[in-house]
Structure 1
Amino acid sequence: MKRLSKMYDRFYEQILDEHEARRRRAGAGEFVASDLVDVLLQLAEKGRSESSEAKLTRDGVKAFIQDIIAGGTESSAVTIEWAMSELLRRPDAMASATDELDRVVGRGRWVTERDLPDLPYIDAVVKETMRLHPVGPLLVPHHAREDTVVAGYDVPAGVRVLVNAWAIARDPASWPDEPGAFRPERFLGGGAGAGVDVRGAHFELLPFGAGRRICPAYDLAMKLVVAGVASMVQGFAWRLPEGVAPEDVSMEEHFGLSTRRKVPLVAVAEPRLPAHLYAGVE
């Protein structure tokens, strides 16, 4: 735990150092905050010059960053488990994902963030997983600010409104080709989902919500999940335990803070990269 704590502290320090260096290059008078870390560092600097007891320190900024990263850990892990479940149920899709990684990245190194734009099939796998298994199927509760009418229904001001993203993503009107089936190909050229994004601009797919209450870390979450699935598929050959057929894999859901699998996924992994690449993985 102590070693892990020190490793994370170095990581957070690197983030702060990069932001501070960018600020110094721009100059104090010309610098404009571009993200939350910039704002937090400005507040910490302001706090050092004030007498208030409630000050934001550098350690406080690092703690805030840690909360943001940790807050998305469960949802990202749940989505990756669903993606691997779906791929194991469709060996042809697993083969397509593996072939893409071998073609684009090869087996001489690990996939990195820079490779992600060149992995459209892996991206499609993640989008299809989020369509079928949104972590928050009803999103976060919304509040009607004024009386309105939606699809002929009166919605009075002050009521709580829930958006059923799970049902929307399985609506045959938006997803005509077997909406309940796992088909990453629908997000590639010519498919019904080609051009559909997950960042709230297309209402037929809202895994992160939309508008002012969209998940603030949607971009980070998308990169984490795509990179996670890519690393697992690239690094290991996956198969189900002896005697378990793809159609036998349970896909029952358990609703809690996130919608995870009711039964944890059990699979067998065999390394498929050179041994020295695994030596540096902690």
Structure 2
Amino acid sequence: MEIIPFTNMQSFSILLVSITFALCYIFKPKWQAKLQKAKQPSLPPGPKPWPIVGNLPELIKCKRKTSVSHWIHTFMKEMDTGIACIRLGNVHVIPVTCPEIGLEFLRKHDAVFASRPLTMASGVLSKGHLTTIFSPLGDQWKKMRRVMASEVLSQERHRWLYEKRVEEANNLVCYVHNQCRSGDGGGLVNLRVASRHYCGNMMRKLVFNRRYFGEGKADGGPGFEEEEHVKAIFTSLAHVYSFCISDYLPFLRGLDLEGHEKIVEEATMVMDKYHSPIIEDRIQQWRDGKTNEPQDLLDVMISLTDDNGAPLLSTNEIKAQINEIMIASVDNPSNALEWGFAEMLNRPETLQKAIDELDNIVGRDRLVQEYDFSQLNNVKACARETFRLHPIAPFNPSHVSVCDTIVGDYFIPKDSHVILSREGLGQNPKVWDKPYEFKPERHLQNCNKGEEVVLAEPGLQLFTFGRGRRGCPGVVLGSCMTIMMFARLLQGFEWNILTHQETIDLSQGKGVPSLAKPLLVVAKPRLPPNVYSLAG
């Protein structure tokens, strides 16, 4: 066989191809990794982070001048994006203002984002994350979620507590009626006090079967103890929803550079001061056999047993969960009532439509009841519009991702904190016409088709109550409390702005979701005297 010799060029070509294949084999893993990285979706858009600390310098700067939520919403509007990424320390915080992307997080990827961060405020309030809302994903959360959904806030339990809810609705009417007795022209009513007092009374009645921790006031109003209790609840809420630097740089915890830890601990101590003696005494009553039939939600929690007949919940679990129930129940309805009445008083025609509806459906010979709610679409539209325009907090509690995932064509790393914007969803100009205007009629469009207005929002075009695995188990109770306050106060009294005012000032308080000044208005009875005596 004749061997054909290679020319120099042929030899060089063969050598070059051999080297190329060898290099490809050696560096193939690196090339594949780079190729995969190039194909991987990027993080959502956002401000460029600094090394190590991320965007914490911008956060600290904006907290001195404005609010973190204002800074986030401003740059998202400038970028024209419905999802963004802010890196605080090593944590990727993902704010969302787009309903479609929000639904993708809470519906398609619900299981991935079903955990919670371990923050300073939530840890103190929940006594080490023993509760439903603040616990990270795990056995403790599953246990408490099951207790709340099937035992404490079930439909059956809701029906069982009906009389207590009626009692507190009656007490609200009596309290406001007592404020009207100062003269024929009506009396001055502080609607912030009235709404928070009603919500605090309601939860104390449902949980402890008592309206007051102390004596209360002769006019049915809150005493010092109730005022201190509600103040502690709202102080705690303000810090649960705040951006605390030590939550993103854990090595700073204990130093309490912002003073948040001390504030939250003191507020929790106030709640414990009133809750703990009642809880401990009631537990002892059950142990001694002095109590064997539940009369309230505290009894329900104490009476629960496991498969071996032992108490299902520890004393600390009960205390922590009751703290959380109080915090989660008092804020939304009372905030909506004050803002809603302020908006309606500035729009007398809207106020009158709701009153006319109550007169037509309920009349003036009896007080509105829960069974009337299904027909009160105007009243509910006013409440729903208030939730849209004036949410209790800029963002919902964070959802933490348990693994890397892709949402909305963006890469969301494991341990990211996803925060749905209540403001951004409810005031999104791509969703709502004239988003900054109070227009309850926008929620009545489908009523002609027989659809009922409800406060919950499955489409996430506004944020009323949480949904998904981390959804609010108290939707029915929260809706009921809100509608009852609106309906009873609209039906029972004629409302007027103070004589020296032309309109209600709708300025928001600095760093808080409430009105800058408590809503003071004049109330005058509009029902026959015997109706108020029935409430008493």
Fold in common (TM above 0.5)? yes
1:9 aligns with 2:201: no
Instruction: Provide Cα deviations, 1:88-125, integer angstroms capped at 9, x if missing partner.
Output: 11100000000000111111111111111110111111
Point out the structure with max Rg over C-alpha.
2
Alignment partner of 1:43 is 2:243: no
Counterpart residue number, 1:267: 521
Is it true that 1:129 corresponds to 2:386 in the alignment? yes
Tell me if the contact between 2:304 and 2:312 (Cα under 8 Å) persists in the aligned partners: no
Q: Is the 8 A contact 2:305 2:312 kept in 1?
A: no
Q: Is the 8 Å Cα contact of residues 425 and 462 (structure 2) preserved in structure 1?
A: yes
Contact 1:83–1:125 (Cα < 8 Å) also in 2: yes
Residues 44-84 of structure 1: per-residue CA shift (max 9 Å, x gap): 4878x54x79767xxx9899679636741233211111111
Aligned to 2:12: none
**Residue among 242, 245, 265 paired with 2:502:** 245
Task: Classify the secondary structure of the residue corresponding to 1:78.
Answer: helix
- The whole-number CA distance in structure 1 between the counterparts of 2:323 and 2:534 is 24
Residue of structure 2 equivalent to 1:279: 533
Looking at structure 2, the residues matched to 273 and 230 of structure 1 have their Cα atoms a distance apart, in angstroms, of 13
Q: Which runs of 5+ in 1 are unaligned?
A: 19-35
Q: Which amino acid aligns with 2:351?
A: M
Which among 334, 342, 366 is matched to residue 109 of structure 1? 366
Alignment root-mean-square deviation, CA: 3.6
Structure 1 Cα separation of the partners of residues 327 and 412 of structure 2: 36
C-alpha change, 1:185 and 1:54, in structure 2 (3 Å) is: closer
Cα deviations by residue, 1:187-239 (Å, 9 ceiling, x for unpaired): 11259xx8785435212122212211122212211111011001011011001
User: Which residue in the other structure is 1:185 paired with?
Assistant: 441
Aligned 8 A contact 1:89 1:249 in 2 = no
Equivalent residue runs for 1:101-250 within 5 Å: 101-175=358-432, 177-189=433-445, 198-246=455-503, 248-250=504-506
Richer in helix (by share)? 2
Residues of 2 paired with 1:54 and 1:161: CA distance?
A: 30
Three-state SS of the structure 2 residue aligned to 1:138 is coil
AA aligned to 2:358 is L
Which whole-Å CA distance do the structure 2 matches of 1:98 and 1:53 have between them?
47
Three-state SS of the structure 1 residue aligned to 2:530 is helix
Q: Distance in 1 between matches of 2:423 and 2:205?
A: 40
* Secondary structure of the structure 1 residue equivalent to 2:411: strand
Q: How far 1:145 moved relative to its partner?
A: 1.9
Alignment CA distance shift 1:252-1:54 (3 Å): closer
Distance 1:102 1:260 in 2: 30
Q: Which residue of structure 1 aligns with residue 351 of structure 2?
A: 94
Per the TM alignment, residue 37 of structure 1 is displaced from its structure 2 partner at its CA by 9.0
Q: 1:26 maps to what in 2?
A: none
Distance 1:169 1:195, change over 3 A: farther
5 Å-filtered alignment, 1:38-77, equals: 40=301, 43-44=304-305, 49-50=309-310, 68=325, 71-77=328-334
Deviation at 1:133, TM superposition (A): 1.0
Q: Distance in 1 between matches of 2:498 and 2:205?
A: 38
Tell me the amino acid that sits aligned with residue 335 of structure 2: V
Change (3 A) 1:181 1:274: same
Give deviations 1:120-145, integer Å, cap 9, x for gaps.
11111111010101113201111122
Question: After the TM superposition, which of the residue ranges 231-240 and 201-210 deviates more from structure 2?
Answer: 201-210
Unpaired segments ≥5 residues, structure 2: 1-200, 212-290
* 1:148 Cα offset (Å): 2.6
Which secondary structure does the structure 2 equivalent of 1:149 belong to?
A: strand
SS in 2 for 1:94: helix
Question: Partner amino acid for 1:9?
Answer: N
User: Paired residues, what number?
Assistant: 249
CA distance in 2, matches of 1:231, 1:6: 19
Change (3 A) 1:37 1:231: same
Tell me the SS of whatever aligns to 2:524: strand
C-alpha distance in 1 between matches for 2:373 and 2:319: 27
**Is the CA contact (8 Å cut-off) linking 1:136 and 1:207 kept in structure 2?**
no
Contact 1:187–1:195 at 8 Å: present in 2 too? Answer: no
2:520 match: secondary structure: coil
Relative to structure 1, is the Cα distance of residues 280 and 74 closer, same or farther in structure 2, using a 3 angstrom cutoff?
farther
Q: Whole-Å Cα distance in 2 between the matches of residues 151 and 277 of structure 1?
A: 55
2:339 paired residue number: 82
Q: State how far apart, in whole Å, the 2-side matches of 1:103 and 1:84 are.
A: 21
Q: Identity rate of aligned residues, in percent? A: 31
Distance 1:45 1:214, change over 3 A: closer
Letter of the structure 2 residue corresponding to residue 43 of structure 1: L
Q: Does structure 1 retain, via aligned residues, the 8 Å contact 2:381–2:453?
A: no
Measure, in 2, the Cα distance between the counterparts of 1:71 and 1:91.
32
Measure the CA separation in 2 of the matches of 1:115 and 1:197: 13
User: Structure 1's 209 and 159: CA in aligned 2 closer, same or farther, altered over 3 A?
Assistant: same
- Contact 1:197–1:205, Cα closer than 8 Å, also in 2: no
**C-alpha displacement of 1:280:** 4.5
CA distance in 2, matches of 1:6, 1:120: 28
Letter in 2 for 1:250: L
Distance 1:162 1:54, change over 3 A: closer
Contact 2:402 2:414 in 1 (8 A): yes
